[in-house]
């Protein structure tokens, strides 16, 4: 009701300041109250209009609608702020996760490089030790082959020497010398056995 009385007061002030009332010396003179006066008709229509508005509580409804709309806008703004804060929190979380993943990926790459370096060094060491073992085995085989060859050469030389000595002894020895050498050999063997 306070709102409607303020509207009525504003209406009366507006009418008091109207040019028609200002032109007449007495606003309440009979010329003003005639029905052919448009100012009076407009005033009456306006008062009736304001009265209808007040009777059906239109200003209160308008104020309620405006308050509701303001509350809706405020809630939408609050919701938008909350969504923005959630989005910023989510963005910060994703950025933090991305940094963590990047750090982890860098660590994995670094570990892989170190592992590859260690594996390469280990492979070099394995190849070196394999070469040393193979060289040692080859040298052993060469030494064994040399020893075998030397034995064969010695055995062959002994055979050749024995055969040559047999030929020489056979050609130079007579039957009497042969008998005497046999007797000497038997004596030597007999002396060594007893």
| DSSP calls for the chain | -HHHHHHHHHHHHHHHTSHHHHHSS-TTSTTTTSTT-HHHHHHHHHHHHHHHHHHTTHHHHHHHHHHHHHHHHHHHHHHHHHHHHHHHHHHHHHHHHHHHHHHHHHHHHHHHHHHHHHHHHHHHHHHHHHHHHHHHHHHHHHHHHHHHHHHHHHHHHHHHHHHHHHHHHHHH--HHHHHHHHHHHHHHHHHHH-
pLDDT digits 0-9 by tens, 98-135: 999 999 999 999 999 999 999 999 999 999 999 999 99
Q: Is residue 87 part of a domain?
A: no
Q: Is residue 28 part of a domain?
A: yes
Per-residue pLDDT at 84: 95
Q: Is residue 41 part of a domain?
A: yes
Per-residue pLDDT at 177: 75
- State the total domains in the chain: 1
Residue 153 confidence (pLDDT) above 90: no
Q: Is residue 130 part of a domain?
A: no
Q: Is residue 34 part of a domain?
A: yes
Radius of gyration, CA atoms only, the chain: 68
Q: Is residue 106 part of a domain?
A: no
Calculate mean pLDDT across residues 124-148: 90
Per-residue pLDDT at 173: 73
Domain that holds residue 10: 2-56
Q: Is residue 140 part of a domain?
A: no
CA 9 – CA 16 distance, rounded (Å): 11
Per-residue pLDDT at 121: 92
């Amino acid at each position: 009701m306070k709102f409607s009385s303020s509207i009525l007061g504003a209406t009366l002030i507006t009418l008091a300041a109207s040019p028609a009332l200002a032109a007449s010396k007495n606003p309440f003179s009979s010329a003003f109250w005639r029905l052919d006066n448009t100012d009076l008709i407009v005033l009456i229509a306006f008062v009736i209009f304001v009265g209808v508005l007040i009777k059906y509580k239109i200003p209160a409804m308008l104020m309620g609608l405006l308050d509701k709309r303001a509350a809706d806008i405020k809630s939408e703004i609050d919701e938008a702020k909350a969504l923005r804060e959630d989005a910023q929190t989510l963005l910060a979380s994703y950025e933090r996760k991305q940094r963590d993943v990047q750090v982890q990926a860098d660590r994995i790459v670094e570990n892989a490089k170190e592992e590859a370096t260690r594996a390469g060094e280990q492979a070099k060491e394995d190849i070196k030790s394999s070469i040393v073992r193979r060289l040692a085995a080859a040298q052993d085989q060469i030494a064994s082959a040399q020893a075998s060859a030397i034995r064969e050469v010695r055995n062959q030389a002994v055979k050749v020497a024995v055969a040559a000595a047999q030929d020489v002894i056979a050609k130079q020895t007579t039957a009497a010398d042969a008998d005497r050498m046999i007797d000497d050999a038997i004596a030597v063997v007999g002396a060594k056995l007893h």
